[in-house]
């Protein structure tokens, strides 16, 4: 630059300085940006990169199971195949918009053929061209294999042509499905699980959070097509699983109770029915039945009415069953002595402008006779002597008017009296024999348990424990006494009185059992007609609540039949259900008969058929329905052949039912004291034994029906 003109050399130095400065600024900016990206903003850029190369999956944990008290599965989760599609992958290799549209129509037709679906429905799912779409969930093994065949390159080839070539992007994925091995067994108690994995109705709903477990998000690497090529997995799969629920219900007792109640439901043509079996010493609910029931595996085919747990949701006027608690409360309060006799006004008694009737014109009755003959007048006099505050307080001590606390949705608390005011005199009288108040079946069973166990009001237990997937106990329910309903001596006294109900002259002789002393109470309560607000002439609730053995109770049963069309009296309809369920349950539990209990001898001696048995008990007088309507003549009712029970010892002739319909045939057979057993439907084609045969009263008559040709 020495030989250059000084002016030019100066200009060159200026340009070099500007160039170096520009380069220095550029390098500084580059370093600054690199520092910001790699140091200051590294966390956000790293997250962006991870999001681009990773795929997020939500892992649904296995739903916990529901088991009975002995570990038998009532509800379990199984894995079934479901079909999904990646439409972007499916159209890979098909160029052009028109060609892809035609390919989707072709794919839809082939997929629909494999899955038994409408091609238009499949095309509608594929038209959005998403990376993931469900085509059909919970498919059969044959459908899953057909989809695998469509994706088999060896079978169809990799090159696509209309109607030919492999269908890419199809996936057979395992998906959990709820399965109920017992089918209809305890359906209203269990509820069901919807396709979205959430519980609906019953325990599946109330314990949904416990059963579903914890959902975890899992990330894995994906390639440029978005396919998962690596998964990090879960840290501990068992920690995500839902908890298992162990019930107090015994599957064997539940099955017997459901069978017998369903037979009564169909035989008596009732609107519905419920039954609760409890252990009075612990509060365990061994069975809880509501009919009609439903199969949770096919919940979509069931009506909402069939899914309702009637034992806890349905309120009804209990009727004469409440006389038990009225008497117990009066004895405990000292307003009544067990040896007292009460004048029952020849069967008619007026309070204000209301007249209360008894079935028979009784004069003086002991307290035991009032329960055995189910005298409304005797009961109301006891209630009035006790007083409104005493009677109301006693009912509350027995748990009426408050929910039992069972973990089931929709439990009703019942109604004792209008809010904000006490009972008037006539209301107190009505309440003393179960009118003008409402209860649930489980409340009746719980209250009767307090009489059976010596006066302790126990908290009913439906769930014994909840465990995690490793078997560790998360929660546990143990027997808990809420309060003392009545003193132990009073409970023992009332128990002895209740045994008279199923003995000669009582209203519950149909509940008597061979080898066991039974304590219980019948009820035939008129229902209120919503249209008129008055008691109906032809709608009743028939029930029987009792326990056995009376001296050392093992079981408490509450049987409620809603609006029977054939018959009406609780002793005739609900009593046999009590007997059959109790007999089978006691045999199952290994409870031996007592020598002190009544013996039921065979009509023909020891060599006669075991099911044809009789006991020398006078026919029970039907109890008066609660209400003011005059009692109708008792209607003979029918039921299944009992395993044991107290039919009368006389012989009768089998009536001729040829040409009759099912209802008329049942009435004809039941009217002579025989038990019809119905098989099939349609036209009567056979009856066994044949018409005119002489058989012991209480024997079963088989009626075979076949559809008309």
Average pLDDT for 428-454:
95
Residue 83, domain member (yes or no): no
pLDDT band at 633 (very low <50, low <70, confident <90, very high): very low
pLDDT of residue 519: 95
Based on the domain organization, do 412 and 530 belong to the same domain?
yes
For 579-612, the pLDDT digits (tens) are 999 999 999 999 998 755 554 433 333 222 222 2
Assess whether 534 and 448 both reside in one domain: yes
In-domain check, residue 107:
no
What is the tens place of the pLDDT at every residue in 553-566? 999 999 999 999 98
Considering the domain architecture, whether residues 626 and 669 belong to the same structural domain is answered as no
Domain assignment present for 386: yes
Predicted pLDDT of residue 241: 77
Instruction: Give the pLDDT of residue 429.
Output: 92
As a whole number of angstroms, the distance between CA 368 and CA 615 comes to 22
Indicate if the pLDDT at residue 613 is higher than 70: no
Contact 151, 166 (CB under 8 A): yes
Q: Are residues 612 and 500 in the same domain?
A: yes
Give domain status of residue 672, yes or no: yes
- Report percent pLDDT > 90 for the chain: 43
pLDDT of residue 603: 31
Q: Are 641 and 708 members of one domain?
A: no
Looking at the structure, do residues 598 and 666 belong to the same domain, yes or no?
Answer: no
Residue 58: CB atoms within 10 A of its CB come to 8
Report whether pLDDT(648) > 50. no
Closest CA to 365 of 357, 354, 355, 373: 373
Query: Does the residue 105 lie in any domain?
Result: no
Domain match, 331 and 358 both: yes
Same domain for 613 and 671, yes or no, is no
Domain for residue 384, yes or no?
yes
* Separation between Cα atoms, residue 55 and residue 59, nearest integer Å: 13
Picking from 646, 677, 692, the residue at the C-terminal end of a domain is 646
Closest alpha carbon to 572 in 264, 209, 114, 141: 264
Q: Are 509 and 381 contained in the same domain?
A: yes
Q: CA-to-CA distance for 376 and 373, rounded, in angstroms?
A: 9
The residue behind tokens 């099911």 is 611
The whole domain housing 291 covers: 252-646
pLDDT at 60 over 70: no
| Residue 79 is assigned to a structural domain of this protein | no
Please give the tally of structural domains in the chain: 3
CATH code (residue 695): 3.30.10.20
SS3 (DSSP) at 337: coil
Distance CA 458, CA 439 (A): 17
Q: What is the pLDDT of residue 222?
A: 56
Task: Confirm whether 359 is domain-assigned.
Answer: yes
**Which residues are 456's β-sheet partners?**
484
Contact between 624 and 376 (Cβ < 8 Å): yes
- Kindly list the catalytic residues: 320
Q: What is the pLDDT of residues 216-250, one digit of tens each?
A: 555 556 555 555 555 555 445 555 678 999 999 99
Regarding whether 692 and 584 lie in a shared domain, the answer is: no
| Residues 75 and 133 sit within 8 Å (Cβ to Cβ) | no
Q: Indicate the pTM of the whole model.
A: 0.72
Task: Give buried/exposed letters for 255-287 (b at 16+ CB in 10 A, else e).
Answer: bbbbebbbbbbbbbebebbbbbbbbbbbbbbbb
Q: For residue 607, give every residue at least 6 positions away whose Cβ sits within 8 Å of its Cβ, in sequence order, or none.
A: none
Asked if residue 663 and residue 553 are part of one domain, the reply reads no
Question: Is residue 498 within 8 Å of 519, Cβ to Cβ?
Answer: yes
Of the three residues 646, 663, 694, the one that is the final residue of a domain is 646
pLDDT of residue 643: 35
| Residue 533: partners with Cβ closer than 8 Å, 6 or more residues away | none
527 lies in the same domain as 447: yes
**Domain containing 312 — which CATH number?**
3.40.710.10
pLDDT at residue 556, rounded to an integer: 97
Residue-wise burial string across 98-133, b where 16 or more C-beta atoms lie within 10 A, e elsewhere: eeeeebbebbbebbbebbebebeebbebbeeeeeeb
């Amino acid at each position: 630059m020495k030989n250059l003109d000084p002016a030019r050399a100066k200009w060159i130095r200026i340009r070099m300085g500007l160039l170096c400065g520009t380069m220095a600024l550029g390098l500084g900016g580059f370093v600054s940006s690199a520092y910001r990206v790699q140091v200051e903003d590294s966390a956000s850029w790293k997250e962006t990169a991870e999001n681009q190369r990773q795929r997020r999956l939500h892992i649904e944990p296995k739903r916990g199971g529901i088991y009975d008290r002995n570990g038998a599965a009532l509800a379990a989760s199984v894995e079934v195949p479901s079909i999904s599609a990646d439409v972007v992958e499916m159209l890979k290799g098909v160029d052009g918009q028109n060609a892809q549209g035609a390919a989707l129509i072709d794919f839809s037709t082939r997929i629909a053929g494999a899955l038994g679906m409408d091609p238009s429905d499949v095309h509608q799912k594929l038209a959005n061209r998403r990376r993931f779409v469900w085509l059909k969930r919970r498919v059969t093994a044959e459908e899953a294999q057909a989809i695998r065949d469509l994706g088999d390159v060896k079978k169809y080839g990799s090159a696509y042509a209309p109607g030919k070539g492999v269908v890419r992007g199809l996936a057979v994925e395992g998906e959990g499905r709820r399965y109920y091995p017992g089918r209809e067994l305890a359906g209203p108690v269990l509820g069901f699980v919807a396709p979205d994995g959430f519980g609906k109705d019953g325990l599946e709903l109330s314990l949904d959070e416990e059963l579903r477990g914890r959902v975890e998000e899992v990330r894995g690497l994906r390639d440029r097509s978005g396919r998962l090529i690596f998964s990090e997995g879960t840290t501990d799969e068992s920690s995500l699983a839902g908890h298992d629920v162990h019930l107090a219900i015994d599957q064997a007792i539940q099955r017997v109770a459901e069978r017998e109640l369903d037979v009564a439901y169909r035989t008596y043509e009732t609107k519905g029915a419920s039954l609760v079996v409890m252990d009075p010493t612990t509060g365990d609910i061994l069975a809880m039945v509501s009919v009609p029931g439903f199969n949770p595996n096919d919940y979509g085919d069931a009506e909402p009415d069939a899914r309702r747990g009637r034992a806890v949701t349905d309120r009804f006027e209990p009727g004469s069953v409440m006389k038990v608690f009225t008497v117990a409360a009066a004895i405990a309060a000292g307003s009544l002595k067990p040896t007292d006799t009460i004048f029952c006004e020849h069967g008619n008694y007026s309070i204000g402008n209301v007249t209360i009737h008894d079935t028979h014109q009784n004069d003086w009755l002991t307290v035991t006779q009032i329960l055995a003959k189910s005298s409304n007048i005797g009961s109301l006099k006891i209630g009035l002597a006790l007083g409104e505050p005493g009677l109301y307080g006693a009912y509350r001590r027995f748990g009426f008017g408050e929910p039992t606390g069972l973990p089931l949705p929709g439990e009703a608390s019942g109604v004792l009296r209008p809010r904000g005011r006490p009972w008037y005199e006539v209301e107190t009288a009505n309440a003393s024999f179960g009118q003008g108040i409402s209860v649930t079946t489980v409340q009746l069973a719980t209250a009767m348990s307090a009489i059976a166990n010596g006066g302790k009001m126990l908290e009913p237990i439906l769930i014994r424990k909840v465990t995690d997937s490793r078997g560790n106990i998360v929660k546990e329910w143990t027997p808990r006494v809420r309060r003392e309903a009545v003193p132990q001596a009073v409970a023992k006294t009332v128990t002895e009185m209740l045994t008279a109900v199923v003995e000669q002259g009582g209203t519950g002789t149909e509940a008597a059992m061979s080898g066991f002393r039974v304590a219980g109470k019948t009820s035939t309560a008129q229902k209120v007609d919503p249209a008129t607000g008055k008691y109906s002439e032809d709608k009743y609730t028939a029930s029987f609540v009792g326990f056995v053995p009376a001296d050392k109770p093992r079981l408490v049963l509450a049987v409620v039949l809603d609006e029977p069309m054939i018959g009406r009296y609780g002793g005739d309809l609900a009593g046999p259900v009590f007997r059959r369920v109790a007999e089978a349950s006691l045999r199952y539990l290994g409870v031996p008969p007592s020598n002190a209990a009544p013996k039921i001898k065979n009509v023909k001696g020891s060599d006669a058929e075991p099911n044809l048995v009789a006991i020398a008990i006078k026919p029970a007088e039907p109890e008066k329905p609660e209400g003011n309507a005059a009692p109708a003549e008792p209607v003979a009712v029918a039921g299944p052949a009992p395993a044991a029970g107290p039919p009368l010892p006389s012989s009768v002739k089998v009536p001729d039912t040829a040409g009759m319909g099912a209802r008329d045939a049942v009435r004809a057979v039941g009217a002579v004291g025989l038990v019809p057993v119905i098989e099939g439907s349609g036209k009567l084609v056979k009856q066994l034994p044949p018409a005119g045969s002489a058989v012991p009263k209480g024997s079963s008559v088989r009626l075979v029906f076949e559809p008309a040709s």
